[in-house]
Structure 1
Amino acid sequence: MASTTFTSLLCFCMVLEIFLSLVSGGSSASISSLQNDFVQCLNLNSDLPIPMSTFYTQKNSSFDSVLQSSAQNLRYLVTSVPKPALIFTPQTEAHVQSAVICSKQLGIHLRVRSGGHDYEGLSYVSMTETLFIMMDLANLRSVTVDIGDNSAWIQAGATIGEVYYRIAQKSKVHGFPAGLCTSLGIGGHITGGAYGSMMRKYGLGADNVMDARIVDANGRILDRAAMGEDLFWAIRGGGGASFGVILAWKIKLVPVPSIVTVFTITKSLEQGATKLVHRWQEIVDKLDEDLFIRVIIQPANKAGSSGGRTLTTSYNSLFLGTADRLLSIMEESFPELGLTKNDCMETSWIKSVLYIAGYPNGTPPEVLLQGKSLFKNYFKAKSDFVREPMTETGIDGLWKRLLEEDNPLMIWTPYGGMMSKISESQIAFPHRKGVVFMIQYLSIWSDGDKNPAKHMDWVRRLYNYMAPYVSKFPRETYVNYRDLDLGTNKNTSTSFIQASVWGAKYFKDNFDRLVQVKTKVDPDNFFRHEQSIPPLPLSLRATWTQSSS
């Protein structure tokens, strides 16, 4: 054992010495060497030669377009942000397996992207690694739907919009409860939980996963039976890129009515938005579980000639049923909104997906196959979970602060229903019972803004203002809305104590179990990023092993 450890340490030191000499000798030399070694290793570990068209160096004319293809936050595409030395776009699961094996053998840091919606760019940017490769899974996007089995196998590079479309192709009365933004890459989306407009009826996307295929840190392709229940638990809600590379999910399809109803009602401050949103807080988690009503809050110009700015609150809804039944429920539970038959649109489930995603009425469902994001901009985001309704005074203070910013956006997502019935420890996603709604905060700015720091500071001040009104001990936040303000890891020398600060916010009591799973399946921390789950330090592993045996 001691000899093996010494040999491993010696090899590591040699790789590190070579790496440092390459960096000090010039980035072009190191990038060229990395590319050659990686490509050679991949071909040695593959049954068939891997096409050169799957590799993009920084000198390749298509490098920028591939890098930017699914990146959502333009803040991480500016020239000052480090870019991957090489982009690899595998065409098969075996290619992914070889990439993990070779990255580990060569001591090359690997980042994995399935969709690119990660808010802090962690799948295609590294602030802690000088030289790294990005593996983009966009070519792995098959969706195989089995209506007889009420299931589908979906590869990690498919978007959730593609999944919805392929399900609707096979059945008008089946769906899947996941994201509202249709360009989300399914691989990473489910690792964080995957909430959407049917969460109150069926829970999260991660709650409806039956099996998975993953490449682990040893380069093995594992399904649920092979990986074991601990790892299967961790990858559903424990955040992306900590435990392996997700290749595919087997999801459970859920029944949807042939007719669903959607509506959006908008009220400004001058139209009583404060009292209405206060009332929404009081009842939203208690509504019929077929009914989902979120609130989108943003600035607008005041009506009339007086000018000036106001705020609007838009009640954006999906109801799993007819308009008549919806009107009956609303009259009893939320008459203050004033919903009428004219406000309602009956439609199919797949067309409700387009409606909730913001596509214009009449857009054909085939647009979902494009896999393109409607939302690419410079932004900073944060999130919160609310367990007690805000007071009207608190809401008034919120309005004041929102009007201070150029282009703010808040989205309040309702809880209750199935979300309150599932145990916080059933999967790694912990934000369940007692949550009334979730908040997403965004400050958005455009290219050429001369003071982006102003917008970053504003959203942080807003977050501080909201502290008395949101969850406490810990102040919970959603892992799919990554926020590096909460803290970061430092290369491979991750501090368990430091990571527990943000880990508790994302995962609550589940964080300790996630660390135990990480220590078991990836003790060398091969899969890592600025907020990945850390393994236990060596000094604590013996104690943990004894206590768990």
Structure 2
Amino acid sequence: MDLDPISSLSSAFLLLPLLSFLFLPQHCISLAAIINPAPSISTHESILPCLFNHSVPPNLLFFPNSNNFTAAFLSPQQNQRVTSNRDDLKPFLIVTPTHESHAQAVVLCSRQLNLQLRTRSGGHDYEGLSYSSTLGPFLILDLLHLRSISFDLRRGRNTAWVQSGATLGELYFAIASKSRALAFPAGFCPTVGVGGHICGGGIGTLMRAHGVAADNVVDMLVIDAAGRLLQRESMGEDLFWALRGGGGASFGVIIAYKIKLVQIPPSVTVFVKSIDLSRGATRAVAQWQQVAYRADNRLYINAVINGGPLSLLLDRSPAAISFSFKIKSDIVTEPIAGENWEKIWKHMIDGDVQPTMLIEPLGGKVGEIAETETPFPHRNGSKFVIQHIVAWLEQGEKAAEKNVDGLRKFYRFMAPFVSKNPRGAYLNFRDLDLGRNRGGRMVSYDRAKVWGRKYYKSNFQRLAFTKSKWDPENFFRNEQSIPPLF
């Protein structure tokens, strides 16, 4: 998980309205590329000759009966709510390419044999679309071995090529090893995969000064539905536009990004202010809202309203604890009045579950860029992103139903205070409750628009046009992929 650290919990809800990071990176999730109709039961056998014919080494393949299959499938970042014991949600094959040609082979063979493909780069996918499927049998293309990072710092060029399998932590470490005055504006959770984070937009603590991660991509390598390896010049500006915030899963397999590094000051100032309801949290958060999105662009000040077991999400050793979670997100266009915060906290206290709210300010450079410049639309007029989170340790469907239903009730309660027509959501906080694609390749654009406009606003139609051009057969698809505009 990907949240700001706090030092203690309080039964009266801790509020951190004045938690500011001048230059630290924040947030995300790894999404995925995808496909499918229902293959036969021997799909793994049918694909083997094709993969071997394309020189994919056998040691890169993991089947359910392989000794290392479970280790290859599971990772600490995955959501226990998704990675259940249901075999129908697990892949029939995992391929871990060590070269881009191996990934091309997987795309070509999957398409030739009409197999559903999911691409994973990290596993920080809140709804598990990169490693599970409700649409039938599937295989995973796991990019964990494609994680190289190279720099061009000559004469102030300050760019880097980073492969999608690298994590944000690896990218930041590599940058710091080269220069203490350069950074990349993205999330601060170190285990998030670069691939999904950037293609979903990539909000973080540097965004008010330098824009979101996708705003700082200058080129990329992507495998399209025909198995071609394309760069910006060969793919053209329409696809390059779509891949910077429209999600890579709908259009291809993103192998690497060329990113622009930004200048940062040599020192960082961090301060934390904790306050609960008995000491005036309502007034504090009302004042914070008036400052956070209008402050100097170099200043990032978020708020954490803790109503639940946030410590579960902040555990320093994620492998040592296994929990389930559900995330929902909102975009706020106007500050919420102080009296409404009293209603919100009362609802949190009285509810069946106690969610946590992480509120991040937009504005600054993010708001200076036009909504149509990239598919990420939460620009001018959007003040905050709210992440609603509930987490639990209890096992079983009953516990999951109770916690998920409790968060859904709280999300409905928040409707009067957040954006409308549509109610906005951030793609990297994926939420299947907003709607999903069902069935085979023929996905209704009008039905998909119900959830699509919440993520992309008016950009959804342009994304569908781009999809129609580059993947008209809808080979790359999942439960919330962009449909062609049939």
Question: How far did residue 179 of structure 1 move?
Answer: 0.7
User: Highest relative contact order (Cα 8 Å, sep 6+), 1 or 2?
Assistant: 2
- Report the counterpart of residue 109 of structure 1 in structure 2: 116
In the aligned structure 1, how far is the partner of 2:152 from the partner of 2:325? 39
- Distance of 2:77 and 2:441 partners within structure 1: 25
The corresponding residue for 1:497 is 446
How far apart, in 2, do the equivalents of 1:438 and 1:284 lie? 12
Secondary structure of residue in 1 paired with 2:249? coil
Cα deviation digits, residues 43-96 of structure 1 (max 9, x gap):
2123xxx33221111111221121112542111111136111111111110000
Residue equivalent to 1:345: none
Q: Kindly provide the CA deviation profile for residues 152-198 of structure 1, in whole angstroms up to 9, marking residues without a partner as x.
A: 00000000111000000000100000012111100111111001010
Matched residue count: 444
Once residues 308 and 109 of structure 2 are traced to their aligned partners in structure 1, the CA distance between those partners, rounded to angstroms, is 52
| Unmatched 5+ stretches in structure 1 | 1-14, 23-29, 302-310, 313-356, 361-366, 538-549
CA 532–487 in structure 1, closer or farther in 2 if over 3 Å, else same: same
Q: Is 2:49 the counterpart of 1:43? A: no
Which amino acid in structure 2 is aligned with residue 455 of structure 1? N
1:262 Cα deviation from its structure 2 partner? 1.2
CA contact (8 A) 1:412 1:437 kept: yes
Give yes or no for contact 1:386–1:438 (8 Å, CA) kept in 2: yes
**Could you say which residue in structure 2 is the equivalent of 1:408?**
355
Structure 1 position 504, deviation (Å): 0.5
Q: Is the 8 A contact 1:97 1:219 kept in 2?
A: yes
Contact 2:371 2:378 in 1 (8 A): yes
> Is residue 442–residue 459 contact of structure 1 (8 Å, CA) maintained in 2?
yes
Letter in 2 for 1:61: N
| Structure 1: 4+ residue segments shifted above 6 A | 357-360, 372-375
1:64 matches 2:70: yes
When the two structures are superposed, what TM-score results if normalisation uses the length of structure 1? 0.78
Inter-partner Cα distance in structure 1 for 2:393 and 2:102 = 38
Matching residue of 2:125 = 118
Specify the code of the residue in structure 2 equivalent to 1:242.
S
Tell me the distance in 1 between the aligned counterparts of 2:168 and 2:77: 16
- Residue 373 to residue 500, structure 1, CA distance change in 2 (3 Å): farther
Distance in 1 between residues matched to 2:289 and 2:199, nearest whole Å: 28
Tell me if 1:139 matches 2:145: yes
AA of the residue aligned to 1:388: E
Residue 468 of structure 1 and its aligned partner are, at CA, apart by 0.8
Corresponding position of 2:336 = 390
How many angstroms apart in 2 are the aligned matches of 1:134 and 1:70?
Answer: 17
1:470-485 map, 5 Å: 470-485=418-433
Structure 2 Cα separation of the partners of residues 201 and 173 of structure 1: 15
Q: Paired residue for 2:377?
A: 430
- Give the corresponding residue for 2:252: 244
Contact 1:159 1:183 (C-alpha < 8 Å) held by counterparts: yes
Partner residue, 1:34: 43
After TM superposition, the structure 1 stretch with the greater mean CA deviation from structure 2, 51-60 or 504-513, is 51-60
SS at match of 2:220: strand
1:172-225, CA deviations, whole angstroms, 9 ceiling, x for partnerless residues? 100000012111100111111001010100010000001000000000000000
Instruction: Indicate whether 1:96 and 2:103 are aligned.
Output: yes
Gaps of 5+ in 2: 1-35
Distance in 2, matches of 1:214 and 1:392, equals 47
Counterpart for residue 534 of structure 1: 483
Deviation digits for residues 81-128 of structure 1 (CA, Å, limit 9, x no counterpart) = 611111111111000001000001111111110111111100111101
Name the CA distance, whole Å, in 2 between partners of 1:183 and 1:502.
Answer: 28
Residue 184 of structure 1: SS of its match in structure 2?
coil
The CA RMSD measured in Å over matched residues stands at 2.2
Query: What is the CA distance between 1:387 and its match in structure 2?
Result: 0.9
Give per-residue Cα distances to partners, 1:462-514, cap 9 Å, x unaligned: 11111111111111100111111111111312111110000100000100000
**1:146 Cα deviation after fit:** 2.1
Query: Between the two proteins, what is the percent identity of the paired residues?
Result: 46
Greater C-alpha Rg: 1
Q: Is the 8 A contact 1:407 1:444 kept in 2?
A: no
Q: Does 1:377 align with 2:384?
A: no
Q: Name the CA distance, whole Å, in 2 between partners of 1:376 and 1:106.
A: 37
1:234 aligns with 2:234: no
Relative to the length of structure 2, the TM-score reads 0.87
Partner in structure 1 of residue 468 of structure 2: 519
Q: Map 1:32-431 to 2 at 5 A.
A: 33-46=42-55, 50-69=56-75, 71-80=77-86, 82-129=89-136, 131-148=137-154, 149-299=157-307, 377-403=323-349, 404-431=351-378
2: distance between equivalents of 1:157 and 1:100?
A: 17
